[in-house]
């Protein structure tokens, strides 16, 4: 099965900073990659699908890129409401594996 590895596992940044999270697949998955945000105590929320397509309602400071095995999630200007854990997920085929998550905090 394809494994999904995120880095870093956690990060702390200041409001207004640019934040980048990386997700690597152990085999190529084309662009079948989604990103989810889970705020503390809340249900996961879809942010991005097809590696770079923003789900409706997601702020434009969030973006995704990549194809094949290497993907990134970028928040161009970190805001307090972005404090959350972010997960990538591959969906080219079952099993629809998640990365281990990246916890984002405000410095």
Partner 1 sequence: EVQLLESGGGLVQPGGSLRLSCAASGFTFSSYAMSWVRQAPGKGLEWVSGISGGGGSTSYADSVKGRFTISRDNSKYTLYLQMNSLRAEDTAVYYCAKGVSNWGRSYFDFWGQGTLVTVSS
CB of 20 to partner 1, least distance (A): 19
CB of 93 to partner 1, least distance (A): 7
Q: Which residue's CB is nearer to partner 1, number 22 or number 97?
A: 97
Task: Count the neighbouring beta carbons within 10 Å of the beta carbon of residue 1.
Answer: 10
Residues lying near partner 1 in the complex (CB under 8 A): 1, 32, 34, 36, 38, 43-46, 49, 55, 85, 87, 89, 91-101
84-90 and 45-49 beta bridge pairing: unpaired
Residue 65 near residue 87 (C-beta atoms within 8 A)? no
DSSP annotation of 55 = P
Q: Which residue's CB is nearer to partner 1, number 19 or number 35?
A: 35
Q: Which residue's CB is nearer to partner 1, number 16 or number 95?
A: 95
Where residue 47 falls (left for φ over 0; alpha for ψ -120 to 50; beta otherwise) is alpha
CB of 49 to partner 1, least distance (A): 5
């Amino acid at each position: 099965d394809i494994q999904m590895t995120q880095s870093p596992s956690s990060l702390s940044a200041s409001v207004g900073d640019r934040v980048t999270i990386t997700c690597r697949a152990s085999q190529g998955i084309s662009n079948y990659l989604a990103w989810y945000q889970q705020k503390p105590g809340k249900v996961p929320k879809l942010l991005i699908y097809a590696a770079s397509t923003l789900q409706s309602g997601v702020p434009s400071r969030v973006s995704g890129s990549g194809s094949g095995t290497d993907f990134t999630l970028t928040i161009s200007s970190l805001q307090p409401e972005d404090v959350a854990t972010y997960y990538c997920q591959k969906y080219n085929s079952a099993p629809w594996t998640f990365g281990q998550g990246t916890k984002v905090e405000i410095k």
